[in-house]
Structure 1
Amino acid sequence: MTRDRVPDGELAAIVTHLEMRQASAAPMPEGTLRLSRVAQPTPDQYRAIFRKVGARWLWFSRLVMDDARLESIITSPAVELYEVTAVEAVVGMLELDFRNAGECELAFVGLVPELSGQGHGRWLLARALDLAWRDSITRVHVHTCTLDHPAALPAYLRAGFKAVRREVEHFPDPRLAGILPADCAPQVPLLGTLTCAEAPAS
């Protein structure tokens, strides 16, 4: 066994890549939330949803993109963004990426932390797969990591995905870089120095 020290100010995560080669025949679970396509999302609109859903799990990849790069992805005809709503509030997101021929990537699937453990995630994943599988699609894939909700990987496996590879990622802690608030993701201790601007108010 080998151990490599992760420097203060950085994070490490084990990323698991999963795929599905044929649609599941499982029945669609009932849901009380709504899924609506966002036809022409703006970068600011996208970032607001992304932060709301992903800050707890340290999602930051789309937050560091400039407007032009982000807009080129989210307005692509082969990328579909959906928002999950409860009454009038946005409580989740789903992003499907069809840019590779014959494939659909579940790029981002998530709900706000307050809805965890209520069965909504199973409904959202089932809806995601229902939308992903089309006549031209032969592979649906997704990845998750050890910083995500601990129920994410078991949920994908239960839905019929198969793990195909793992990798380790190292990256600067986005909270220390000011990309995300210092007090988000309390389950992941901060190891590093916050600037005065980044430190949470006492």
Structure 2
Amino acid sequence: MLENGHYNVPPGKVAMVVTDLEMTTPQFRGVPCPDGLTFTTLSRDTTAYLELFRRVGAPWLWFGRTLMDKQELTDILNDEKTGLFTLEKDGQAEALLELDFSVEGQCELDYFGLTPALIGSGAGAFLMDQAIREAFDRGIKRFHLHTCTMDSPQALGFYQRSGFTPIGRRIEIADDPRVAHGYDRDLAPHIPVIDP
């Protein structure tokens, strides 16, 4: 158990507070689909997935899928227990919704986000209604996710307004992808790079 106090994060690393949330009864906001958008399944093509993953997640230093072995990612994307969806605008995917049904009776919201083209349009609330519907339509008892302080400052409040309840919190330390993996050093200016 950690004592109260401050702990140094090694140079070249990032630290985040992760909050775990869950929903056991579906709750919908009833938000209509914004004009010009279409909710649809997402291609399971690994290259197309990673391109969208980067457009959605780069500002927040999402790195989980980009550092994964390509075959491992391909296997996840092609697994029938993985649900992949998007919002299309002018024929282009502008949102990422990835659901994991690998645990019986549960669904984990693995990834959820919008490209800058949709932020502030109401598309997020609409997409979350679709996520909740897709999850509970499979007869699950628990829909859960985690978010962290590296994500958008609005993320935690958004999930709570969507009906998720916080159930736990932890600290995660990881390699800073801008230092260890060649990510653009200008990404995520809210998290300063500290070189080793």
TM-score by length of 1: 0.89
What is residue 121 of structure 1 aligned with on the other side? 124
Which of residues 158, 162, 167 in structure 1 aligns to 2:165? 162
Structure 1 residue 132 corresponds to structure 2 residue 135: yes
SS at match of 1:115: coil
What is the correspondence of 1:74-113 to structure 2 with a 5 Å cutoff?
74-113=77-116
Letter of the aligned partner of 1:139 in structure 2?
A: R
Contact conserved, 1:19 with 1:140, CA < 8 A, in 2? yes
What is the correspondence of 1:163-202 to structure 2 with a 5 Å cutoff?
163-192=166-195
C-alpha RMSD over aligned residues:
1.6
Contact conserved, 1:64 with 1:179, CA < 8 A, in 2? no
SS at match of 2:124: helix
User: Number of paired residues?
Assistant: 192
Which of residues 24, 49, 52 in structure 2 aligns to 1:49? 52
Structure 1 residue 20 corresponds to structure 2 residue 23: yes
What is residue 198 of structure 1 aligned with on the other side? none
Contact conserved, 1:60 with 1:179, CA < 8 A, in 2? no
Distance of aligned partners of 1:161 and 1:151 in 2 relative to their CA distance in 1, 3 Å threshold: same
What is residue 60 of structure 1 aligned with on the other side? 63
Distance of aligned partners of 1:87 and 1:114 in 2 relative to their CA distance in 1, 3 Å threshold: closer
User: Structure 1 residue 88: deviation in Å?
Assistant: 2.3
Cα distance between partner residues in 2 of 1:158 and 1:179? 36
Contact conserved, 2:31 with 2:125, CA < 8 A, in 1? no
Distance of aligned partners of 1:136 and 1:179 in 2 relative to their CA distance in 1, 3 Å threshold: farther
Contact conserved, 1:92 with 1:111, CA < 8 A, in 2? yes
What is residue 40 of structure 2 aligned with on the other side? 36
Gaps of 5+ in 2: none
Which of residues 71, 76, 87 in structure 1 aligns to 2:74? 71
Task: State the percentage of identical aligned residues.
Answer: 37
User: Structure 1 residue 131: deviation in Å?
Assistant: 1.3
Cα distance between partner residues in 1 of 2:66 and 2:139? 31
Contact conserved, 2:30 with 2:126, CA < 8 A, in 1? no
Gaps of 5+ in 1: 194-202
Which of residues 140, 145, 169 in structure 2 aligns to 1:142? 145
Letter of the aligned partner of 1:108 in structure 2?
A: Y
Letter of the aligned partner of 1:145 in structure 2?
A: C
User: Structure 1 residue 28: deviation in Å?
Assistant: 3.5
SS at match of 1:53: helix
Cα distance between partner residues in 2 of 1:179 and 1:19? 34
TM-score by length of 2: 0.91
CA deviations over 1:102-147 (Å, ceiling 9, x no partner): 1111110100134323322111111211211125211111110001
Contact conserved, 1:56 with 1:185, CA < 8 A, in 2? yes
